[in-house]
Amino acid sequence: MSLSEPMTIWALWLLATATFVWGVVSWPKAAATGRLRSLWRAHLRRAVSQLAVVATALLAVAGTLNAQFDWYSSWNDLGTAFAGGDSSVASPAVVNSGGPPLAAPIVSIREPQLKGLNPNPGPDGQYVNVTLVGPVSRVSSSMVVWLPRSYTQAASAHRHYPVIEVFHGIPGSPLEYSHDINLGKMVAGLAAQRQIKESILVMPDASPGKVDTECVNGGSRGPAMEDWLTKDVPNWVRHNLRVQPDKQSWATMGLSTGGFCSAMAAMLHPATYGAAIELGGYLSPVFDSHYRPFAYGSPAWRRYDMVKLTAHAPPSVALWIETSKTDTLSYLGNARVIATAKAPMRVTAEVLSDAGHRMSVWVGVMPAALGWLGSTMIGFRP
């Protein structure tokens, strides 16, 4: 039986049920007879039965959640993780398709100044929290901005930086990058190794009020998140930070739902973004039961079908994909994009043979993805 198939889940719940029944039946039999040794044995039997009931119940719940979210795709994938490794370190199949994206010149703009920055934040740079009410979208949400150490140094006072707009998964928030992963530290380290140019990270909250917006414009039923993410946020960045404005110096990145947001933002707005990194993402909206601004197959939904866009009107962007043949959420759509991409779109993919849909897999490939960005896009080249 595979790790996520229904038979495995049923077996785990049957084991949990049987253990609970055994615990109930055996409880009176574990009663002490009054002697000290008998008393200790009774306590030990009851403790073992309680632990067994709790352990099998937790195992059944964990199996059910894993089947729902596809964290571990197989027994081998689970075993690799418990052994202290990860499936992402295995040699992936690297696929390239399409043609090179069109280059654009790098130019500078005026020198804005964000107030209240730490003038000497240390080698790992600094995170800044910003709340933005979008004049285009009328959406109010927050974002976390990471600035490299050099940004506030006098020698870099006239330097302009490339930008990576980074999208979180669901459930999640920008804190998964600033706190859990410390993506800024990762980028700083890669920049020190000259794998990528020092960059500014912009991590917007795409789920204001904990609503899974899928980063799309909700029309009359929801917020205009696409407009906020791809118009209001870039406009704010250009007017408040020293950044390069051309598309070769702007990229997106995201994992899971954020992977869809990353691909969607770049593919629908190729004049703003030159590249996208998509980690375990899917390629059309997947709404939950609490928020569904438009129906599957409707004109609004078709706007966000990145597989069809790739096949019929490929945009001038470079796309880096991580997926796994056992990641049921991301593989099918990404496989079609890899197969159909053509110039001016370019796709580079790392297809893992046996990896789940979880954070440790994506973190494991982030250095390679960021290194690709540094070698592919002129604005990110060290």
Tell me the per-residue pLDDT of 85-115, one tens digit each, with 9 for 90 and over. Answer: 555 444 445 556 565 443 333 333 345 667 7
Report how far residue 214's alpha carbon sits from residue 226's, in angstroms, rounded to the nearest whole number: 9
63-91 pLDDT, tens per residue? 555 555 445 544 454 455 555 555 544 44
133-161 pLDDT, tens per residue? 999 999 999 999 999 999 999 999 999 99
Report how far residue 204's alpha carbon sits from residue 229's, in angstroms, rounded to the nearest whole number: 7
Query: What is the pLDDT at residue 50?
Result: 72
DSSP for 202-217, written as a single string = EEE-SSGGG---TTSB
Query: What is the pLDDT at residue 88?
Result: 47
**pLDDT > 90: percent of the chain:** 66
Sequence-distant (≥ 6) Cβ neighbours of residue 287 within 8 angstroms? 212, 214, 293
Query: What is the pLDDT at residue 17?
Result: 73
Backbone angles phi, psi at 165, to 5 degrees: -90, 120
Strand-pair partners of 94: 350
Distances (CA, A) of 333 to 256, 263, 277, 288: 13, 12, 15, 19
Mean pLDDT computed over every residue of the chain: 84
Q: In this model, does residue 60 exceed pLDDT 90?
A: no
Query: What is the pLDDT at residue 7?
Result: 72
